[in-house]
Amino acid sequence: MKSGKSVLLRVVAAALLLLLLSGLVFWLTLPSVSWLKKENPRETVMMRLHNEQARQKGWRTQQLRKLVPLSRISPFLVQAVLIAEDDKFFAHEGFDWESLRKALDANIRKGRILRGGSTITQQLAKNLFLSSRQSLWRKLREAAIAFKLEHALSKKRILELYLNLADWGRGAYGAETAAQRYFQCPASELSLSQSVRLASVLPNPHRFPVPGAGNARMNRKRRLIIQRMLRRRWISRESHDLALQEMGLPN
C-alpha cells in the first residue's frame, strides 16, 4: 500500500515539475515588450503576413504609415475606437472577462470560433507578434503577451501603439495614414463622423471598408457608437445629429 502511494506521489511530483518547466519555457520564449516604452516598431508580424499574401496574389504591397503621439490623434477617434473595440479598456488589466465569457458562449452555440472577445491590448499583442490564425496555442500566447504589455507599458502607450499600428485597409496602417488616405486630413483633424466610420470597420477593414455608406450591419454599428458617445456626454446632441446626417443615417 505504501509502495503504491509512493509511486503515485512520484508521478504527481514529476507531472508538476514537467508542468512547471513547460510553463517556464513558454514564458521565456515570449517576445520582449519593454523596448516598446520608448521605441516604435518599424514593422509588425501582421504587416509582414499581409504583404506576403499580397505578393502571392500578385498585388502591389504597401506599408504606408506614420506614427504620431496620442495627442495628435483626434479625441473623437480615440473615443469611438474605445467604444467600438474595448469599452472597459481603462478599467481592466488586459482582459475583459465578461466579453470573453460571451464570446465563449457564442462559439459553443455555433460549434466554431466566431468571436474572440479580445481587448485592445490583446489585439495589439496579435498585431505585433502573432498571426490571425484562430487556435488555442495562439490565444494562449496572445494572452501572455497582453499580460506583459499591461505590466510594462502605460494604458495611454498601449492605446497609442494600437491606433498607430491598426490596419484600416488598402495599406493604411495607423490613424495618421488612414486619415490621409480616406479623408485627406491629419489624424488630429478627423471629424466625429469620420472617426466613427474609421472605428466601425475595426477589426476587419478588408471585409467592411471605410469608404461608402456601409451595409445595414455597419450602419447599426456606427449608430451604436455615436449613441454611446452621446449618452456619456462626450459629444453634444447637435454634434450627434450632424454626424448622423454626414454619414447618411436617419436621426
Q: Please write the tens of the pLDDT for every residue from 23-51.
A: 666 566 789 999 999 999 988 888 888 77
> What DSSP line would sit under 73-114, residue for residue?
S-HHHHHHHHHHH-TTTTTSSS--HHHHHHHHHHHHHHTS--
Q: What is the 3-state secondary structure (H, E, C) of 114-139?
A: CCCCCCHHHHHHHHHHCCCCCCHHHH
For cell 471598408, what's the residue? 209
Higher pLDDT residue, 152 or 106? 152
C-alpha cell at 223: 449608430
Q: What is the CATH number of domain 41-246?
A: 1.10.3810.10
pLDDT in the model for residue 205: 83
In the chain, where the domains are located: 41-246
pLDDT tens profile 207-244: 777 766 568 888 999 999 999 999 999 999 999 999 99
Long-range residue pairs from 133-142, CB within 8 A, at least 24 positions apart, any chain:
140/26, 141/30, 142/118
Angle at 88 between CA 163 and CA 74, to 5 degrees: 35
**Band of pLDDT at residue 107, cut at 50, 70 and 90:** very low
